[in-house]
Amino acid sequence: MSELERHKFDVVVIGAGGAGLRAAVEAREAGLSVAIICKSLFGKAHTVMAEGGAAASMGNVNSGDNWMVHFRDTMRGGKFLNHYRMAELHAKESPDRIYELEMWGALFDRTKEGKISQRNFGGHEYPRLAHVGDRTGLELIRTMQQKIVALQQNDMKTFGKLWIEVFAELTVTEILKEDGKVAGVYGYWRESGSEVLFEAPAVIIATGGVGKTFKITSNSWEGTGDGHALALKAGANLVDMEFLQFHPTGMVWPPSVRGILVTESVRGEGGILTNIKGERFMFKYIPDVFKDKYADNEAEADRWYLDQDKNRRPPELLPRDEVARAINTEVKAGRGTEHGGVFLDVSKRISAEIIKKRLPSMWHQFYELAGVDITKEPMEVGPTCHYVMGGVEVVPETAAAVGVDGLFAAGEVAGGMHGSNRLGGNSLSDLLVFGRRAGIGAIEYVRANEAKSVSDSSIKAASQRIEAPFTRTGGENAYSLHAELQEITHNLVGIIRTKSELVEAIEKIADIRTRSANISVTGGRKFNPGFHLAFDLDNMLLVAESTAKCAVGREESRGGHTRDDFPGMDNKWRQVNQISSFDGQKVNVRKQALPSIPKELFDLFDVHELEKYMTAEEIAKGGSN
Amino acid sequence: MARKLNMRIWRGDSVDGALQDVQVEANEGEVVLDVIHRVQATQMGDLAVRWNCKAGKCGSCSMEINGKPRLACMTQVASYGEEETITVTPLRAFPVIKDLVTDVSFNYKKAMEIPAYAPPSDLKPGEARMQQVDVERSQEFRKCIECFLCQDTCHVIRDHEENKKSFAGPRFFIRIAELDMHPLDTLRNRKQTAQEEHGLGMCNITKCCTEVCPEHIRITDNAIIPMKERVVDVKYDPVRWLGSKIRKREGIV
Ligand SMILES: Cc1cc2nc3c(=O)[nH]c(=O)nc-3n(C[C@H](O)[C@H](O)[C@H](O)COP(=O)(O)OP(=O)(O)OC[C@H]3O[C@@H](n4cnc5c(N)ncnc54)[C@H](O)[C@@H]3O)c2cc1C
Ligand code: SF4
Ligand code: SF4
Ligand code: FES
């Protein structure tokens, strides 16, 4: 075999989405050498698809907004299962992260006073989402991509060489450790199939989500849970993997576009949901905990668009889990469209001209892909797997992965921040806040710890794993196994879950995993998607196992986890995180106490509201000190 | 309403390759990327193709379909006749890596050559004030998804490898225009360097780039032509040049 390609850096960032890029900027600006590795071309990461906006309580549109209001909304949205400290840091730091992007050249939409404009979104009390039409993620990615180019230009000018490099179309297959500490990562170039070793004392995982584990999803092919699986295998924990967000509005027709996201801004801009009988059904689905915030009649809901201080908001803007379940129920009750969706209509609310201006890519998407003109007709929509709340257990301040020295995780791959349900817009700001914090965590770690060199035996093992599927012939086909897995998760671990189905899912996933050990790949190593999928599938299987096992464990319904056999929320379960770990053979799940909320944050809420979520003893304690 | 579709897919690498005929099922509403994926899953497991979002948002799935630069995820199979064969080939302006995947690193190199955004040195975070009408001009160019279809179609480099060195291409003309029109950017000579260093002068306004842009960015009318006109202006009228730069700074409070 030819000589192995080797690199040495201070920090390796896996992932070039919002979180990875923000972490990389931080580390480079502190003077460290940084590698950014990603599976796609630079600038194409999943973040590019984010539409609605980034939540930050700048108070530009309603001066009543501040971090405390944002914090409360985030905790409510997550049904108080959030790690309070992450939600607090996020709420406090988001505005600065948005302003910083503007300093790097981002051009957000403006208010009349020339400030950054902010839009309404589900679960946010005030207009809070900084946005650029409906392509906010593209703005975020491009701004940071260009910031990194600027850092590179500066490196060339000052040092005549790059200290921050992008390794695009390279898949990481392993996080390598020596003496219990992170020593680097191993992977292969997608283009050539040849192998690469990166030695680095600190590794930041920023690999995004897991949507491709499911059949109907808004995620791109990259969302295969690689970081979740890499972390598990490296000895880190995943927290609360049962919580998956099914976005209420994905496209449903034609089949080829099933799952593609219809941004929540459509509802933010006035879109209403109706069933096949023409009923505006969301009024029937307002849960008790939200009764005082959401209008229970059309007249008030309509008035809200004109006067938001005097009226309660329309129920279309309830948190996503509520809306997704409502649509699911309508369709199951036979009140859905022939393609299994419901109608979402903005055409009667705002003029064609404004629709095209505020929702340009939605107009484009429906017109080109479904032949529907949303300025004239309603859209057909239904739930789609969108976001994973669960993820790597981290220390909030530094984004350090609990249990593995030198490993950090930020962005969608990290857990805790969003509790059982994420509010729209809170992810983009999460990427920035915790991307930066992971950068800082890695900087501090690198300064305090020596780099370790990777042993030959570790290299050999990693390399053998990559070679394995080529050495087999006539084995299983990765594409069919993937399709089988998606069928199982969709049918048995979907929006509404029940014990017997989950148990069945766990068995079936284990069976696929056994068979996947026998995958064989046709063709050579060069840009071979069949070979790539074999590795992605391995990750998806671990994620699915963890999700199914956590789902069976949690005997209540909360946020992105609904149990048919335990339909209510149980305040005792609010005190529990489920922690997944990997023993080399299987995923094990144990219970762990949620960190209790300190008094100063406890006091931000009305006690009567907390009574809906907390046990009497917790209320009596009034928060910890 | 599945039907059999005849396709010709270019397969090969930098050394050698050829079109291969395949028959594949196509269902109602499918786009070309869907049928390529079906070919991949059922007949050619190692067929190389780039894609990400399947929604026209990331600009990964650029290829040539019946000779036209297009996004495969936004091209309906039904837009071709029932009997028509759909031929897919890699972007012609860039070197092939494998099958439908090309080496687009040219574009990333060009991006490195364009001076970064330069805000006023005394601007503090959160203090920028800009009017919507003023940001909209640059926002149009920031819609770019970097699919590089415009680069692929531009005749200056499409069959002229030798021009690549001195020509940044339409994607980067709009990047320069975007910065030039950014209400807060302070760099003064963007138009001149576009002309002198990035090859704006080699563009003869054929508008082919605008025609293929999936984001409908008016590359020629709103970026190239105004820059070309102003370069001429600037050469003859230094007072106006100064004026334009002073106006730019008005946005800062
Ligand atoms: C359609 C859509 C719209 C959305 N809209 C919004 C919105 O309006 N507001 C909001 O707040 N959130 C939104 N979200 C959610 C948000 O976009 C994502 O949660 C967020 O972008 C994730 O960012 P990330 O940085 O964690 O990872 P990603 O952007 O997913 O990037 C992951 C990176 O990791 C790389 N990677 C993965 N595995 C490997 C590996 N093994 N080796 C090497 N590299 C690897 C990938 O190549 C990629 O570069 C939306 C999501 C979708 C799907
Ligand atoms: S208008 Fe200019 S840049 Fe565009 S394709 Fe024609 S020559 Fe190329
Ligand atoms: S300007 Fe248009 S065609 Fe050119 S790269 Fe950008 S989106 Fe593609
Ligand atoms: S796959 Fe993203 S543009 Fe086609």
Residue to substitute in B70, B150, B153, B211 for testing ligand 3 pocket (most ligand atoms within 8 angstroms of CB): B150
Residue-range definition of the domain harbouring residue A505: 465-575
- Which tokens is B75 given? 């091209």
Q: Which pLDDT band holds residue A221 (cuts at 50, 70, 90)?
A: confident
Type of residue numbered B110: K
Q: Is residue A171 part of a domain?
A: no
Q: Is residue A581 part of a domain?
A: no
Q: How far is the CA of A158 from the centre of ligand 1 (A)?
A: 33
Beta carbons of A237 and A393 less than 8 angstroms apart? yes
Tell me how far CA of residue A80 lies from CA of A74, A596, A610, A620, in angstroms.
8, 10, 9, 17
Task: Enter the DSSP assignment of A218.
Answer: S
User: What is the full per-residue pLDDT of chain B (253 aa) written as tens digits?
Assistant: 688 999 999 999 999 999 999 999 999 889 999 999 999 988 998 899 999 999 899 999 999 999 999 999 999 999 999 899 999 999 999 999 999 999 999 999 999 999 999 999 999 999 999 999 999 999 999 999 999 999 999 999 998 999 999 999 999 999 999 999 999 999 989 999 999 999 999 999 999 999 999 999 999 999 999 999 888 766 555 454 444 444 444 433 3
Are residues B118 and B223 located together in one domain of the fold? Answer: yes
Q: Which atom of ligand 4 is nearest to the CA of B59?
A: 3
Residues in A closer than 8 angstroms to B76, CB to CB, are 368-369
Q: Which atom of ligand 1 is nearest to the CA of A170?
A: 43
Q: Which pLDDT band holds residue A600 (cuts at 50, 70, 90)?
A: very high
Q: Is residue B252 part of a domain?
A: no
Are residues B86 and B204 located together in one domain of the fold? Answer: no
- The mean pLDDT of A256-278, rounded to a whole number, is 91
Q: Count how many domains chain B has.
A: 2
Q: Count how many domains chain A has.
A: 2
Are residues B115 and B96 located together in one domain of the fold? Answer: no
Beta carbons of A170 and A189 less than 8 angstroms apart? yes
- Residue B123: CATH number of its domain: 1.10.1060.10
Task: Please name the member of B51, B74, B108 whose beta carbon is closest to the beta carbon of A221.
Answer: B51
**Three-point CA angle B81, B83, B84, nearest 5°:** 65
* Domain boundary pick from B102, B122, B149: B102
Question: How many CB contacts within 8 angstroms connect chain A with chain B?
Answer: 173
Which ligand gives the minimal distance to the CA of A538?
1
Closest CA to B248 of B145, B120, B91, B101: B120
pLDDT at B253: 35
Q: Give yes or no for residue A582 having a pLDDT over 50.
A: yes
Q: Is residue B253 part of a domain?
A: no
Nearest residue in chain A measured CA to CA from B13:
A526
In this structure, the residue with its CA closest to atom 6 of ligand 2 is B206
- A551 C-beta neighbours (distance < 10 Å), count: 26
Q: Give yes or no for residue A65 having a pLDDT over 90.
A: yes
From CA A74, how far away is CA A79, in angstroms rounded?
9
Look up A247 and say whether it is catalytic.
yes
Are residues B214 and B113 located together in one domain of the fold? Answer: yes
Strand partners, A188: A171, A195
Q: Is residue B218 part of a domain?
A: yes
Are residues B124 and B242 located together in one domain of the fold? Answer: yes
- Residue B50: CATH number of its domain: 3.10.20.30
Answer yes or no: is the C-beta of B146 below 6 A from any ligand 3 atom: yes
Are residues B160 and B242 located together in one domain of the fold? Answer: yes
Q: Does B233 touch chain A (CB under 8 A)?
A: no
pLDDT at A529: 87
Are residues A372 and A475 located together in one domain of the fold? Answer: no
Tell me the whole-structure pTM to 2 decimals. Answer: 0.94
Residue to substitute in B171, B208, B210 for testing ligand 2 pocket (most ligand atoms within 8 angstroms of CB): B208
Phi, psi (5° rounding) for residue A395? -85, 120
Q: Is residue A64 part of a domain?
A: no
Which residues make Cβ contacts (< 8 Å) with residue B92, sequence separation at least 6? B64, B152, B158, B159
Type of residue numbered B49: V
Look up A267 and say whether it is catalytic.
yes
Q: How far is the CA of B21 from the centre of ligand 1 (A)?
A: 36
Q: Give yes or no for residue A498 having a pLDDT over 60.
A: yes
Answer yes or no: is the C-beta of B150 below 6 A from any ligand 3 atom: yes
- Which tokens is A30 given? 């502190």
- Which tokens is A552 given? 């069976």
Answer yes or no: is the C-beta of B215 below 6 A from any ligand 4 atom: no
Q: Does A472 touch chain B (CB under 8 A)?
A: no
Beta carbons of A407 and A67 less than 8 angstroms apart? no
Residues in A closer than 8 angstroms to B32, CB to CB, are none
Are residues B188 and B70 located together in one domain of the fold? Answer: no
Type of residue numbered B69: P
Nearest residue in chain B measured CA to CA from A370:
B29
* Domain boundary pick from A534, A558, A575: A575
Q: Does A474 touch chain B (CB under 8 A)?
A: no
Task: Enter the DSSP assignment of A566.
Answer: B
From CA A576, how far away is CA A171, in angstroms rounded?
35
Q: Does B242 touch chain A (CB under 8 A)?
A: no
Q: Is residue A525 part of a domain?
A: yes
- The mean pLDDT of A473-491, rounded to a whole number, is 92
* Domain boundary pick from B71, B102, B133: B102
Per the CB < 8 Å rule, is A365 touching B116? no
Residue to substitute in B70, B102, B149, B218 for testing ligand 3 pocket (most ligand atoms within 8 angstroms of CB): B149
Q: Is residue A79 part of a domain?
A: no
The runs of H, that is alpha helices, within A222-340 are 226-234, 265-268, 298-304, 320-330
Q: Is residue A352 part of a domain?
A: yes
Beta carbons of B107 and B100 less than 8 angstroms apart? no
Which ligand gives the minimal distance to the CA of A250?
1
Are residues B137 and B242 located together in one domain of the fold? Answer: yes
pLDDT at B247: 45
Are residues B116 and B238 located together in one domain of the fold? Answer: yes
Are residues B230 and B163 located together in one domain of the fold? Answer: yes
- Residue A551: CATH number of its domain: 1.20.58.100
- The mean pLDDT of A248-266, rounded to a whole number, is 89
Q: How near does any CA of chain A get to the CA of B141, in Å?
A: 11
Q: Is residue A113 part of a domain?
A: no
Are residues A474 and A371 located together in one domain of the fold? Answer: no
Residue-range definition of the domain harbouring residue B140: 105-247
Q: Does A107 touch chain B (CB under 8 A)?
A: yes
Which residues make Cβ contacts (< 8 Å) with residue A330, sequence separation at least 6? A275, A281, A336, A342
Q: Which residue has the tokens 């990400």?
A: B52
pLDDT (tens digit per residue) in A45-64: 999 999 889 999 999 999 99
Are residues B59 and B119 located together in one domain of the fold? Answer: no
Q: How far is the CA of A422 from the centre of ligand 3 (A)?
A: 33
Which residues make Cβ contacts (< 8 Å) with residue A570, sequence separation at least 6? A555, A556
**Helix, strand, coil distribution of chain A in percent, nearest 5:** 40, 20, 40
Which residues make Cβ contacts (< 8 Å) with residue A70, sequence separation at least 6? A55, A56, A57, A90, A91, A94, A124, A128
In this structure, the residue with its CA closest to atom 5 of ligand 1 is A50
- DSSP letter for each residue of chain B: --EEEEEEEEEEBSS-EEEEEEEEEE-TT-BHHHHHHHHHHHT-TT-----S-SSSSS---EEEETTEEEEGGG-BGGGS-TTPPEEEE--TTS-EEETTEE--HHHHHHHHHSPPP---TTPPTT-----HHHHHHHHHHHT-----HHHHH-HHHHT-GGGGGG---HHHHHHHHHHHH-TT---S-HHHHHHHTS-GGG-----HHHHH-TT---IIIIIIHHHHHHHHHHHH-HHHHHHHHHHHGGG--
From CA A263, how far away is CA A154, in angstroms rounded?
38
Are residues B92 and B196 located together in one domain of the fold? Answer: no
The runs of H, that is alpha helices, within A125-207 are 136-159
Chain A stretch 258-287, residues whose beta carbon is closer than 8 A to a beta carbon of chain B: 260-261
Task: Please name the member of A105, A132, A255 whose beta carbon is closest to the beta carbon of B117.
Answer: A105
pLDDT at B235: 57
